[in-house]
Chains A and B, each alone.
Chain A
Amino acid sequence: MSESHLYTYGIIDDNESLALNVDGVAGATRAYTVSYRSLSAVVSDIETTDPERTDAAVEAHNTVLQAVLEHDATRAVVPMSFGMAFKNARTLKGVLRGARRALRSTLTEIAGTVELGVKVLAPGDDTAVDTAAVRSDVTARLSALSVGETENDCFTDRLIINKSYLVEHDTRDAFDAAIDEIDAAHDDLTVRYTGPWPPYNFVDIHIGAEQAQQGGR
């Protein structure tokens, strides 16, 4: 019997241990936590440390994180990028320990918030749209209801706004309502409202390894 490796989805505060029956990456049916002190990684068992990057696998990664958010909507989750599989609990705990200060301060920064995505698209025909006016109207309304925002790439000319907002749980109903108002005020535009997401666009952590004898810092 080969040793099971651990696929990681995200890092949470370890206020309670978590076990969820959910379809994960590479056929997993159960997600649970591996903890180092007060930090817990949400994981599932996997046979490889190099999982295949398919659309289905990426969707499964998201499905597990969505299940964690649904389990407790107020829980802060630091999301992992796709494919972060560890050899075993020992290596995972070693990384949790080594990155504990960064992980803990990130969890503190994002506590009580979720990410929401907003895309606004111009009509596909030649209808003239005052994009500057739309931008200032929409972003002013949504900035007032969020605690953070990032500008994402407007990859087509039709895309007038492509932003992610970090929104506190208490403000989510107001944010939903603001989206409705924007939709109503700009009848000719398409508004795509997505989430809630773990704060993917508000967290950027890279953990590397160095051998000290090769001139480590």
Chain B
Amino acid sequence: AQPDSSGLAEVLDRVLDKGVVVDVWARVSLVGIEILTVEARVVAASVDTFLHYAEEIAKIEQAELTAGAEAAPEA
């Protein structure tokens, strides 16, 4: 049998309840925000891996300038 990926209930279950979540302030403004907290759990190979990071983002501006040179031009 071939699996089917069109059922609305199956899609809603996944797209609404699961997947990467980014807090609104990290999405719309980095002004005044100095730390991104990242909590990750990967469930594969029957092993749960928990990762916790707190990344300082004060240097993002600088990194952005460097990365911007090789990134595609923005629309």
Give the B-binding residues of A (Cβ under 8 A): 4, 10-11, 17, 33-37, 45, 49, 53, 55, 58-59, 61-62, 66, 78-82, 84-95, 97-99, 101-102, 105-106, 109-110, 113, 116-117, 147-150, 152, 166, 176, 179-180, 183, 191-197, 199-213, 216-217
Contacts and interface: CB of A to CB of B under 8 A. Distances in A.
Q: Report the 8 A-B pairs with minimum CB-CB distance, sorted nearest first.
A: A98-B36, A81-B19, A102-B40, A212-B34, A200-B14, A200-B18, A204-B41, A195-B3
Nearest to A33: B72
A87 to B, nearest CB: 5
A212 B74 CA distance: 31
A112 B9 CA distance: 26
B28 to A, nearest CB: 5
A37 B67 contact: yes
A179 B35 contact: no
Contacts of A84: 20-22, 27
Contacts of B28: 49, 86-87, 91
Give the secondary structure class of B's interface: mixed
Contacts of A98: 26, 36, 38, 55, 57, 60
A196 B10 CA distance: 11
